[in-house]
Amino acid sequence: HDLANCQRKDGKSQATNCKGGALTVASIFSTQELNRWRVVLQMETQKPLMDYIKVCELLPHRPPLLLVDRVQSINFETLEIHAIKCVTGGESYLAGHFPGQPIVPGVYLVEGLAQTAAAMCFANFERQGEAVEKKCMLTGLDEVKFRRPVVPGDVIHYYAKYERHRGPFVWFTGMAKIDGEVAVEAKFSAILARAPKV
């Protein structure tokens, strides 16, 4: 808490105890580094709605193409979801993209958004007591914008929102954020076993 309020004029945050002024950590961290630690601490203290095991029960995907680690929250009234993926650096798709400078391919970020949206729909089916085939496939992408690279050590926060459906086709909007900064945003559609009731 104290670390979060100690800002230097050059944009960096100094690790001091603001109340007493005494240096408590012999280091100086950038604001981005402190933001990352805040996210980690928040993840440790905020119990997720669904852990990794539950996500595996909900989604048909499996590593290395399971791109959601946990679901933090779902608003079943507005059909919005917040999920998380931690980029460890050990992901197989980083080996060649790019050697010596690993960056998560944009297609994996979009797929992560789609899986996040699918998790929300499947969770909504379960909540309504409906047994459905767990199948979700992307059918369209629109207005996809990549704002910043995603690299090992980043914690991806996926946000997706249901917009409308027609038959088995469902439309969503979504974005992925790193340290509060938008990394990708998109409108996308998918085909499900059936569409969620609203």
Q: Which residues belong to the active site? A: 97
Q: What distance in Å separates the CA atoms of residue 70 and residue 129, rounded to the nearest whole number?
A: 22
172: helix, strand or coil: strand
Nearest Cα residue to 136 out of 192, 91, 88, 98: 192
- Could you tell me the two tokens for 34? 């402190």
Does an H or E element contain 108, and which?
A: helix 106-127
CA 125 – CA 131 distance, rounded (Å): 7
Q: CA 134 to CA 125: how far, in whole Å?
A: 10
For residue 18, the Cα-to-chain-centroid distance in whole angstroms is 32
Residue type, position 96, single letter: G
